[in-house]
Structure 1
Amino acid sequence: MRKGLLALGLWAFVVGVWSQKPIEIKATPLFGQRATLNSPFPIAIEVRSNTGNLRGVLTVRSAGFGSIREYRYPLELPAGGRKVVVATPIVSDYTSSFEILFEGGRHRVSVRQEVQPLGETDTLVVNVGDLIGGLQNLTRIPNRRKTEWGGLSQSGKYQPAYCMPEYFPESALALGGVSVVILHPGAERLNAEQWNALRQWVALGGVLIVPGGAGALYLQVPALRSILPVQPEQLIQAPRLPALGAFAQSRPLNQPVSLTRARVLKGSRTLLRQGELPLIVARPYGLGAVIFLAFHPAEEPLRSYTGIDGFWKALLRHAPDLPPSQTVNRVFAVQSGFTQDQFGWNPQPNLNVETKIELPSLGLVFTLLALYFFLVVPVNYWVLKRFRALDWAWITTPLIALVFVGILARFTAHLYRKPLSANIQSVLIMPVGASEAYAISSALLFFPRAGLYDLQFDRAELVESGTLSSFVRRGGDLMEVLGTLEGDPKVVQDYRVRNLSFQWFRYTRYVELGGHLEAQLRLKPVGRRWQLEGTIRNRFPFPLRQVELHVGDRILYIHDLEPGEGHFVRETVSQKVPPQVARPREVDPWMLRAYSDVASFNDIISLAREEWVQSLPEVSVAYLTAETSEPVLAPSLRDAAQSKARNTLWISIPVEVSNEK
């Protein structure tokens, strides 16, 4: 009997070991399978080794129409160990799944992760904390109308997702497709890197909703308190909330509610109060906003409140619903020179940057080709036939070709003597008072000679090549593969170029500027108009050129500011917000939204201002833009390259609104 049990146990052990896979891959989407189009799709990938030590490469691959994008992560796995990688592949037009592949030694294991792109008009809302479910009613709430096509207005829905604090990403890039984040109990477990990513995401255009109440321990986290519109003081019990009924356009809440009493900070606006107690307070931060709630709407008695749908509908109308990835895409579109006119969308980028490289004109090339064919076919044939020497055509035709090749070479020979050069355009987004900016850069590189090149991008979060949408790639082209070696720095290896070719690279990164902008602005009524007053001072170590201040429906032109120089602003503006109703964005359903509604950087500023008009008209914010040639955010190459930079600072400044005349 004992021998039988021993044999059975030994057999079970052998079968278990034999059936165990040497490499296991588990993919977990951080925000579920739904993803915003043209935005990162964060995936936590766990690779486990059930064999000996392994060194390999984890590849996340997405295939589009005419292109393949690969993200490569070098991994070293100890025996029996595991590694977790958070990958952020981009969801493009034709993405339905991602292939996740690990290759190391003799092992090759792959899995496939499905993805469901959201519609153009849908909005992704991420709930961070221990709450799983409970906010399905958000799917019943339509968001603000976003498109107008054929005279019909279209609106989408809010799509909720849930994320445990342990799985929340540590980079703002992974949050690029998220429009709204709501904190819940348990969010206090976020680490410093996660809080920093959340702050950076708000600065890029995200909306953070911070509820109070009995379980809001996260209100004590210093990283969150630095961007809150209030100073939390104490927890109190309110017998009822009649003000909430008016806000939700429903019956008053006549049950006791736990509230967080807080003091409203300067630069913030109270959207709802009950007596002297602020219930909803908003404050701009960067391109986004932080909204504080004195109560928690996902907990009782608010959760079962009959007017909860009306409350969420009213509250989310105060949240700009475009994710930060749309701002990044718009900036890329302007930098690349995409245009849209009455004849449709032009996918070819305009080389509207100063390259100092003169290419032969198309007229000259066509003239030479026409002259060549004219000499080779009718003239050559007629002359040889006249002299009865048609047998000489095999000599005269190549000679004529060599002559025209020599003529064309005379016009292009100087291009081969040009050095490898890069022209970089960057938009640096930052809130006032900050010294770190988020750089959205596009580099136009000129390669005089063909070959394989390695490009290195320091501190980069995102690196992409080219500007054409996968929708407009020529079907006859070979499949294009772009692979980046992920990490810091990111490296594009063995990038193949042709002779005399221009190549676009798009990338984002954080950069320390070594200074900040100091500004205080205030709006006060003067008669029936508003007067803007305040000071602006350049604390950067470099001068600011072409300084403009966008406030309300006005653009105020300010003189150039040298380091340490200030400027006093006193201007009369018509209103604190643009008087006209913001128009819906017209979207071609066949093209990317980010590429169809902007033609210049001022259009991006205007659209950002319209978002504030539609969502938070009570909160005023101004945008300062300025040109500078520093810093030069060029990719590094092994070959010597000449680089020229043109940077645009985009700084958001909260405006205090005073009712004192």
Structure 2
Amino acid sequence: MGTRAHSPALILLVVVALCGICRGDSTDLSVSVRPVFAGLAALEGTLPLSIEVANRGAGTSGRVVVKWESSSIAYPVDLPRGSRKQLMVYAPMSSLYSEASVLLETGEGDLEAPIKIGEVHARQSIGLIGGSIGDMTFLRTTTAPSDTGVSASDSYGRPGSLPDRPAGYSAFIALVLGEGSERMKDEEVAAIKTWVVGGGSLIFIGGASSPVLDDRRWAEFLPVGPVTPRNVDGIRTLERLGGSPPPAGRISLALGRPLPGSNVVFSAGQSPVVVRQRVGLGQTIYLAFDPFQPPLKQWGGLRKLFLNGIGLDQAIANQEWLFRQTTGDPEARSDPHSSSGPFNAKLPNSGTVFLILILHLIIAVPMNFLLLRKIGKGELAWVTTPIISMAFAAVFFSLAAGLYKSGQATRSRGTLLVSSLHNEGYFRGHTEIFIPRGGAYDLKLQNVDSVTTGMSEDYAPWGQPLEAVDDGAVQIPQLRVSNLAFRELFYSQRIAAPRWLDGSIKNVDDTSIKCSISNNSPYDLASAKIVFGKLEFNAGQIASGETLQKTLTSDSTGWELWSDEQSVVVEGTLVGFKPGPQIGQDDGSKIRFVYFWGPIE
């Protein structure tokens, strides 16, 4: 998720989660709404909300609906007599620029809890999982966010009560695993892992005691090996990261050996204190000290350390790149390979339509009546006028005949991010949809965890109604459209991708590598490139089930975003992969596949 420029007026209308509890009561039903993350405030992403519904009366069923403008996402719920249920719902941050609310709709009555809005002073948010509320107040600022630079607010989540989907963390630039984070549920850990692959930054902290470092669920994501404790009398050189000298006093460190594929960001003498590892488009960062314990807790350099000293600026650059990939290049909407498809159909412009309407009015009324009156047959106007109207209707129909002949079609753009350290990839992108006949259509979405309507005025302008159902994954079972309907959806989707690429890559010399790459995915990889460090190697096509064995020599420089001396990136176009809506024929989709490999030999 990237950042977009907002006008100052809009910046002041961003949600600051919920202040306290919003309640609505009706005889036997009650509903309460709480923020999952205390203090969450961001300009983009998703706002997770914890809903508690109680029923003291007769058993009933219904749904909890997150509603904004003309759109909604519904969560089915059964409420037997005497039941009290909790569920988590998700509201797009962008929807909260206008009035939004949570509704409980049942056969026994409806309740509504408004979602309050307020001000925000940061473009991103950093979340602390576990620990204590207030540990990261050093991040706060009273100035409005700028379109450039790093700024972040602080927010707090409780282990065991967190989102079980990556989209639930999309408002964060970084998450910190604090005290008690080892108590997270497996599905929460899995969701955060996929969020990291999609561009998130996950921070582990050491210090005197940090049980999460022994949590085997994080073994491949932790940048260091087993740690050993050491106490030191201050680390004066931390001033380089924080901009001011740290306070005097004994600091407890948990020092570990950096693992292959990781980079030492900062050392104190021979001891690695800040270590970073790339995981997908995101990163994991290890701090050998605990910034929430004395004496560092009082350090005035903590804000600069978190915002500028540990690489979050690069994380923001990565997310901005992904945002541009997600929204799509406007030039891509004129794909020559789908020139006969509905998305490139040339409809008459407004000037042509206006001219035809004017001609119709002139011919159907003045010319028609004057001519018939001149020949003394004015009564025939009852016959000629409908004929003229039908003729002009035929002209309009002929201009859109190609669309009426077309069947249902979709065209997708986006990026699938996969890491060798995790068995689930994350797709971010959008799909244009064409449906020639009006009706209600099931889009047959699979493993989609967030969806919004399109940003293009050509297909689905802001305000386009969206009626979705969320039963653990987002579904659109009834997309209601009229004839010749164009729609556009932006979404994120979890994709099972266990070891889609396998093999080995060896460094031969300064410009050559020897590779053996097996494509274990169900899709061909076209225009494949291997990026290592600052070099790029063209690998051509690697078909599904095929193993590429070749020595490659670089003749170009790799893109700086992928540059990493410790790991390899394989990227290309995924052929045959159809994300999102599973209806209609594919009409020129283009899916970028980026596979982040571990360290090479």
User: Who is 1:75 aligned against?
Assistant: 77
Is the counterpart of residue 362 in structure 1 residue 351 in structure 2? no
Matched to 1:194, the amino acid is: E
**Alignment of structure 1 residues 101-500 onto 2, 5 Å:** 101-116=103-118, 118=120, 122-140=123-141, 147=147, 154-155=148-149, 157-251=151-245, 254-305=248-299, 307-312=301-306, 314-322=308-316, 329-334=323-328, 337=330, 354=338, 356-357=341-342, 359=345, 361-362=347-348, 372-373=360-361, 375-376=363-364, 379-380=367-368, 383-384=371-372, 386-409=374-397, 412=400, 415-432=403-420, 434-468=422-456, 480-488=464-472, 490-500=474-484
Q: How much has 1:543 moved relative to structure 2?
A: 2.5
In 2: Cα distance, 1:629 partner to 1:28 partner? 43
User: Who is 2:527 aligned against?
Assistant: 546
* Gap change, CA 1:381 and 1:469, over 3 Å in 2: closer
In 2: Cα distance, 1:643 partner to 1:162 partner? 43
User: Who is 2:574 aligned against?
Assistant: 628
In structure 1, stretches of 5+ residues that fail to align are 1-18, 148-153, 340-348, 579-608
Q: Of 505, 517, 521, which residue of structure 2 is paired with 1:537?
A: 517
* Gap change, CA 1:559 and 1:643, over 3 Å in 2: closer
Contact 1:446 1:501 in 2 (8 A): yes
Q: How much has 1:221 moved relative to structure 2?
A: 0.7
In 2: Cα distance, 1:421 partner to 1:251 partner? 61
Q: How much has 1:254 moved relative to structure 2?
A: 4.3
In structure 2, stretches of 5+ residues that fail to align are 1-24
Contact 1:268 1:619 in 2 (8 A): no
Q: Of 48, 51, 56, which residue of structure 2 is paired with 1:50?
A: 56
In 2: Cα distance, 1:233 partner to 1:276 partner? 15
In 2: Cα distance, 1:80 partner to 1:172 partner? 33
* Gap change, CA 1:176 and 1:534, over 3 Å in 2: farther
Q: How much has 1:29 moved relative to structure 2?
A: 0.8
Matched to 2:551, the amino acid is: F
* Gap change, CA 1:389 and 1:184, over 3 Å in 2: same
Is the counterpart of residue 502 in structure 1 residue 486 in structure 2? yes
Contact 1:48 1:80 in 2 (8 A): yes
Q: How much has 1:174 moved relative to structure 2?
A: 0.4
Question: Alpha-carbon deviations, 1:28-47, whole Å to 9, x = none?
Answer: 11223543223111111111
* Gap change, CA 1:554 and 1:77, over 3 Å in 2: same
Matched to 1:76, the amino acid is: D
Rg comparison, structure with higher value: 1
Contact 1:622 1:653 in 2 (8 A): yes
Structure 1 counterpart SS, 2:386: helix
In 2: Cα distance, 1:338 partner to 1:350 partner? 6
In 2: Cα distance, 1:20 partner to 1:382 partner? 68
Per the normalisation by structure 2, the TM-score is: 0.83
Q: How much has 1:50 moved relative to structure 2?
A: 2.2
In 2: Cα distance, 1:104 partner to 1:404 partner? 50
Q: How much has 1:71 moved relative to structure 2?
A: 1.3
User: Who is 2:595 aligned against?
Assistant: 651
Question: Alpha-carbon deviations, 1:595-644, whole Å to 9, x = none?
Answer: xxxxxxxxxxxxxx2xx8xxxx986665432122233335356xxx4446
User: Who is 1:36 aligned against?
Assistant: 42
User: Who is 1:606 aligned against?
Assistant: none
Question: Alpha-carbon deviations, 1:243-290, whole Å to 9, x = none?
Answer: 324443433654222111201111111111123221111111111111
Question: Alpha-carbon deviations, 1:464-521, whole Å to 9, x = none?
Answer: 3333479x959xxxx7532111114533244221112222233322122464223766
Structure 2 counterpart SS, 1:42: strand
Per the normalisation by structure 1, the TM-score is: 0.76
Q: How much has 1:188 moved relative to structure 2?
A: 1.0
In 2: Cα distance, 1:324 partner to 1:41 partner? 22
In 1: Cα distance, 2:580 partner to 2:176 partner? 37
Q: Which deviates more, 423-432 or 204-213?
A: 423-432
Q: How much has 1:369 moved relative to structure 2?
A: 5.0
Question: Alpha-carbon deviations, 1:169-211, whole Å to 9, x = none?
Answer: 2211100110011121111111111111111111111111111
Structure 2 counterpart SS, 1:180: strand
Q: Which deviates more, 259-268 or 445-454?
A: 445-454
User: Who is 1:595 aligned against?
Assistant: none
Quote the sequence identity (%). 21
In 1: Cα distance, 2:422 partner to 2:243 partner? 40
In 2: Cα distance, 1:202 partner to 1:482 partner? 28
In 1: Cα distance, 2:397 partner to 2:304 partner? 71
Structure 2 counterpart SS, 1:202: helix
In 2: Cα distance, 1:250 partner to 1:503 partner? 53
Question: Alpha-carbon deviations, 1:433-464, whole Å to 9, x = none?
Answer: 65532123433332221122233312211233
Structure 2 counterpart SS, 1:165: coil
Q: How much has 1:426 moved relative to structure 2?
A: 4.5
Structure 2 counterpart SS, 1:631: coil
* Gap change, CA 1:481 and 1:245, over 3 Å in 2: closer
Contact 2:538 2:552 in 1 (8 A): no
* Gap change, CA 1:82 and 1:353, over 3 Å in 2: farther
In 2: Cα distance, 1:171 partner to 1:508 partner? 10
Q: Of 557, 564, 581, which residue of structure 1 is paired with 2:538?
A: 557
Q: Of 566, 569, 574, which residue of structure 1 is paired with 2:549?
A: 566
**Number of residue pairs aligned between Structure 1 and Structure 2:** 568
Structure 1 counterpart SS, 2:213: helix
User: Who is 1:100 aligned against?
Assistant: 102
Q: How much has 1:124 moved relative to structure 2?
A: 0.5
